[in-house]
Structures are given as structure tokens and as C-alpha cells.
Structure 1
Amino acid sequence: MSTPTIDSVILEAPDATATESFYTTAFGLGDRLRVRTSQAPTTGFRGYVLSLVVAQPGNVDALFNAALDSGATIIKPAKKSFWGYGGVLQAPDGAIWKIATSEKKDSKPVTRDIDSVVVLLGVEDVKATKQFYVGQGLGVAKSFGSKYVEFETGSSAVKLALYTRRAAAKDAGVAPEGTGARRFAISTSGPEFTDPDGLAWEASHIHA
């Protein structure tokens, strides 16, 4: 069985053109992010957080400020913590983004370069969802029991990790409750499937 790849994340918004413009200006993620139109209602936490991992605090601030200048709102201001430096914001389409680094000081010129994009899923049962993804061919890179799992995603443009829904919401600084559409999917070059929490993995060729 081949390892499923995450070729891009798909966000749905009522105004796809405006949403694409925001992300191009704020983050410049290129092919790692796609946007499509959807009017499906959604309220509260959608069960995922998108994380941008960068090299140093100055890069966090550069991306954070670019997003705010483009219309994002702050959920958690960027600041130092025991694990590094980072903050959380909400894009105009409602998606939650965490921008962080494990470094606490700048060691080189500041850029808006993004080292990796990580999908952090908030799931009902971490162990069950972990076993589901292992069954789909994903290897486990890190696992902390029923609390956190990080997968080996090979050559994927985007990485994947699991929290409990409550832990993901707490980390993002929002309430865990939410209803309606997720407005989020994953584009993969592998087989299509839907995970135990209803997240769809869609064939990349239909988005080309």
C-alpha cells in the first residue's frame, strides 16, 4: 500500500476569489492551498487548525502582520512560551491559523518563508483515528497515547497531526463547540476516502 500524500488543503468560502486573494497576500502558500466556493452554513470550531511552522520569531511576526493587514483577526497574540514563539489568528473565511517557531530568538534576516504547513485535526477519538490512518498507509512519526499523534507523510507538501477536539480548540484559543459544515478537505494523489470524523480526502486530479 502506498502512503497517502497531502498535495494541498482545500478551504471553502462564500467568496472564493476574495479568499484566494487574502491567502496569496498574507501567506503565499501557492499550490499547498486551494479555495472553492461554498455557501454551506457553519458556526463555531470546525475541528481543525492549520499551522505554519517557521524558522524564527521575526518570521512569525512578518506573517502574522501580513495576515492582519489583509483582514485577519487575532485569537492569540504572538508571544514567547516555554516551547518557542507563536500566535493564532482567524482568516476572513473563518479558518484558524497558528503561526509558530520552536526558536525564541532571531538568528538570521527576517523573511516570510514557511518551513512547513501542518493540518492539526481535532478528533473525537485520537486512538481510533490514528488506527484508521495507519490502515490507510500512513506511518506514525510521534505518538503520545490518546493525546497527540503526528504522521509520517513522506513527500507530502502538507503534514498531518491529531489532537482531541477539545485539546485542539484549547490550543487555538477557541471554544470546542461547533456545528454545520467543516468547509475543509484534503487533496491527495492517493485513493479517496473519508476519515472517522468526516474529513474527506479528495483526488488531486479533480482540482488540477
Structure 2
Amino acid sequence: MASIEFVVIEAADTAAADSFYTAAFGMGGRVRVRASEEPTTGFRGFTLSLVVPGPATVDGFVGRALDAGAVALKPAAKSLWGYGGVVQAPDGTIWTVASSSKKDTGTDTRRIDDFVLQLGVADVAASKRFYVDRGFDVAKSYGRKYVELGPPSSPVKLALYGRRALAKVAGVSAEGEGSHRLAVGSDAGPFTDPDGFVWEAASS
């Protein structure tokens, strides 16, 4: 059963990126940074998502990210599905922080229940088949709209959206080109998926 061990964010200023992620999210080994100046513009086709216990924890992570230099794309607010917000890190990576709970206990636990890599793909059904062929189990599947992959124990979960749908969730235009500025460390790698996302062996 395939799983994701970590993600690599590629940034022009690695020291600044490391400092931001330590201050904002404290992700430890699940998020790594390395240098890259590959051209990239607009939406990079992915987001990283923190699923947390409640609204106070959402506000805590969003607040620390903004204090560390992130830009708010969607202020934290209630929705039909819960409570969440979207920020963009100084290196350009988009992060969502969300909870299925709308009840605010007033306690910021700083606990992360799930860390999810969300990929915006051209064809959700085709990408689902691609990843299943590489050892990923399907946890949830909603036709051509949304798929969750990977075991519950995976340090990083994987979700597939249509590219435009994911951009809408993030609050940005779906237009973009150039490097994704992302690599995925997994026991399923190395390979490049149909949308150009690069996967590497987790031991590398």
C-alpha cells in the first residue's frame, strides 16, 4: 500500500521559507524546502491543507501564518462544511486550514489531525486510475469531482480535484504555467504523473 512521507516545496529563498514554515505551521519532516528558481506564474496546480479540531485552531494557524508573512486569500469563516481559511505563503505555496466543526470552543490546540496534498488535475478519473496502478488505495471517491487516496496512517494524505475546482476552493484563478515548485516523497516513487507532478523515492 503506497503512502506519502513528505512534500518538498521549492523556493528561491530557502532560509526564508524554512523560517516561515517553522513559525507558521511547525510541520517538521513532513515539509521540506529546497532551492529552485524554475519559472512559475499563477496557480501552481496544488494546495496543502491542514485539517484541525476546531475554529480556534484554524484561527491560530492562520494568524501565525499571517504574522510570519503569508497573505490571506480567503479569511477564515464558516461554510456549509465547517470552518476554514486560505493563505498564500511568501514562497507562493497555497495553504488551506480547515475544520469540519463549526463550534468554537475557544481553545487553540495547535493539533493537526490530517495533512493533505491536494492536486488539481485535468482528469480526476484518469488520475485516480494512475495512482491506483501505483499502489494507492481509494479512501473516498465522488466520480470525476473528488478522490481521496492513501492509508489513514500516511503522514501526508492525497486528494485529487479538477484543476479549476481546486483553484476555486483556494480563491485564485486557475490560470498558471511553469514549474509546480513541488516534489512528493513517497514509497511509490519515482515517477511523473499525467499533470507533471514529480514524485521521488522517500529515501532520497
Q: Could you tell me the TM-score, scaled by structure 1's length?
A: 0.95
Identity of aligned residues (%): 57
Alignment pair present for 1:102 and 2:100: yes
Alignment pair present for 1:31 and 2:46: no
Contact 2:189/2:202 (CA < 8 Å) preserved in 1? no
Amino acid at match of 1:141: A
Structure 2 residue aligned with 1:183 = 181
1:67 corresponds, among 65, 68, 71, to: 65
1:196 corresponds, among 194, 197, 200, to: 194
Count, aligned residues? 204
Alignment pair present for 1:124 and 2:115: no
Runs of 4+ more than 4 Å apart: none
Higher mean C-alpha deviation, range 98-107 or range 150-159: 150-159
Q: Could you tell me the TM-score, scaled by structure 2's length?
A: 0.97
Q: Displacement, 1:135?
A: 0.5
Partners of 1:58 and 1:134 in 2: how far apart?
36
Q: Displacement, 1:105?
A: 1.0
Alpha-carbon distance change, 95 to 168 in structure 1, aligned in 2, over 3 angstroms: same
Q: Give the RMSD, CA atoms, in angstroms.
A: 1.1
Partners of 2:188 and 2:86 in 1: how far apart?
31
1:49 corresponds, among 22, 30, 47, to: 47
Partners of 1:13 and 1:20 in 2: how far apart?
10
Amino acid at match of 2:45: G
Partners of 1:145 and 1:189 in 2: how far apart?
26
Query: Which runs of 5 or more structure 1 residues have no equivalent in the other structure?
Result: none
Structure 1 residue aligned with 2:134 = 136
Contact 2:48/2:115 (CA < 8 Å) preserved in 1? yes
Q: Displacement, 1:155?
A: 3.0
Contact 1:139/1:153 (CA < 8 Å) preserved in 2? yes
Q: Displacement, 1:180?
A: 0.8
